[in-house]
Chains A and B, each alone.
Chain A
């Protein structure tokens, strides 16, 4: 039974399109995150939600909009996709603050052509 699941696993799309990535966790955690991993494997926090409330929004273009319908779901919508958005996007969750570590999903590889 997958703890943090992301869909789709792979996403290939053209520049200018709008796409969404879904994330669900069944761990009962109250905090969820989106990270972006670039081609050099560097991981950067994008957003953090606690009980459906946004608590961290790093310097991410406003074309990226997270949506949390409930504390088990955190979706990522991207408008007007650009070539530079190509990356692997990871969803993660934790109970409370991140001091006890996160549980990560398996990632969504986004390729913009």
Chain B
């Protein structure tokens, strides 16, 4: 079985501040981990993915995430928030269920204040 927990359904930061979105996972096998972003009224866009190579993964739009096996975490960070980063962010895991389908966390809404 696999699951994802995203701590904080809403995160608010000021423009230029550090963005930290938390994700913890549970998986019975080495996981594949993903972060997706959803802008209003749009589909999900892949930000980055961890597939058992480097533990620090760089994605699009300046985001990165670090896989920490000991903490079962895959937190998403960005050094300096921009207004355009305001969106819903989803962490997902695959690897230990039928069809290796993605299981998503509940999402975190990032708000960026001017």
Q: Give chain A's interface residues, CB within 8 Å of chain B.
A: 4, 31, 33, 40-43, 45, 48, 50, 55-56, 90, 92, 97-107, 109
Contacts and interface: CB of A to CB of B under 8 A. Distances in A.
Contacts of B51: 99-100
Contacts of A103: 46
B49 A41 contact: no
A34 to B, nearest CB: 11
B100 interface: yes
Interface in B29-76: 32, 34, 36, 38, 41-46, 49, 51
Interface residues of B, number: 26
Interface string B78-114: 0000000000101000110011111110110100000
Contacts, number: 65
Contacts of B90: 43
A42 B101 contact: no
Closest 7 CB pairs between A and B?
A97-B100, A104-B43, A106-B43, A43-B104, A104-B44, A99-B32, A41-B107
Given A41-B107, A104-B44, A99 B99 contact: no
Given A41-B107, A42-B107, A98 B42 contact: no
A104 B45 contact: yes
A55 B98 contact: yes
A57 B48 CA distance: 27
Given A90-B44, A99-B95, A41 B100 contact: no
Given A41-B106, A41-B107, A42-B107, A99 B43 contact: no
